[in-house]
Amino acid sequence: MSFDDPMSWLGGWEGYRVETVQRREGEQPEVWIFLGFQPGAALICDGCGEAADAVHDIECRVVRDLPILDATTFVSVPRRRVTCPRCGPRLERLSWLERYARVTTRLAESVGRLCAVLPVKHVAAFFDLHWSTVKAIDTHRLLVALNPPEFSSVEVLAMDEFALRKGHRYATVVVDPRRRRVLWVGKGRGREDLRPFFDLLGTAGCHRIKAVAMDMNAAYAREVEARCPHAVVVYDLFHVIAKYGREVIDRVRVDEANRLRHDKKARKVVKTARWLLLRNRETIVREEDHVRLDELLAANQSLMTAYVLRDELKDLWRAASPEAARNAWHAWARKARDSAIPALMRFAKRLEPYLAGIAAAD
């Protein structure tokens, strides 16, 4: 290292040396570093890692490096393709620059570390890089940190949909619930959207699957039945109860509020009780909320019936056997029909085709 050449202190350009450095002033100062070949440096094939004895061609490439003080830094590097006796013409292997990267390895590592604590958008603005470049670096960082998903021991799956943004745009996530690990994420929530995952899993992997937990998405169920012949579809408690809350408790609350439109005080009590009715009693902390809930249910028979039958519906997942779950279902469905509450009766009718998947949850 020469102390007469400050740029050599930076290092990090194995096989190359600094030939020229320019600082360009402007609204955003820039430093340009022009590299040349280091005499005697070995030529290594990026394909097989073996030494090569000839250069096939040279192409000048400009890449970004870590900023130097206040200046955005660019490196002009003559990128060589070597003539490898085993692989043919291949790029030269460099420790500080990936094969087709437009940023140096050390800049990519700095971007990755910052992505671990900040959103991609903010990191891109900080380094003045395109969002897609930073996203690609972060994706690579996560793949290295988490390793590719391993499917050989997966026997149970759980799948769910989630909203990407407003406007009913969804994606699907598939996880291994036993190891609590995400296996796959894909856009959409239809059968065709799920097929790439099962293609990735392979025929042998599909045949290993014993059970798949999901919400009441018919597209998911049909694709699982078609691709995983030994799998049992299981409808999980959380999604069914959440659906009950939306389609029964919310509907009954609105209907009761409309029925009480001439009693403004009573109507306000019912209208403002949505979150109280949707919560499980054991999660209610404040004593005044317990009192308010008890008074509301005591004063309104329809809300009381819908609320109590929600808790009884959970017993289907606690049954000791599929047969016990089916017996519990018939008892619950009879109560739903006898309630004469339209929303509750409709829900019971719609839920019946999913009984096998509910009974399998034990």
Strand partners, 33: 21, 75
* 34-47 core/surface letters (b: 16 or more CB in 10 A; e: else): bbebeeeeebbbbb
DSSP state of 151: -
CA distance 286 to 347: 31
CA distance 189 to 173: 9
Give the pLDDT of residue 230.
94
pLDDT at 5 over 80: no
Do residues 9 and 18 lie in contact, with contact meaning Cβ atoms separated by under 8 Å? no
DSSP 92-130: BPBTTB-TT-SB-HHHHHHHHHHHTTS-HHHHHHHHT--
pLDDT at 3 over 50: no
CA distance 133 to 354: 45
Give the pLDDT of residue 6.
58
Cα 130 off chain centre by? 22
pLDDT at 7 over 60: no
pLDDT at 69 over 60: yes
Mean pLDDT across 239-249: 92
Cα 59 off chain centre by? 39
Q: What is the mean pLDDT of the chain?
A: 89
Tokens in use for 54?
Answer: 């000839």
Mean pLDDT across 197-208: 93
pLDDT in tens, 316-332: 898 888 899 999 999 99
pLDDT at 227 over 80: yes
34 sits in which H/E element: strand 30-37
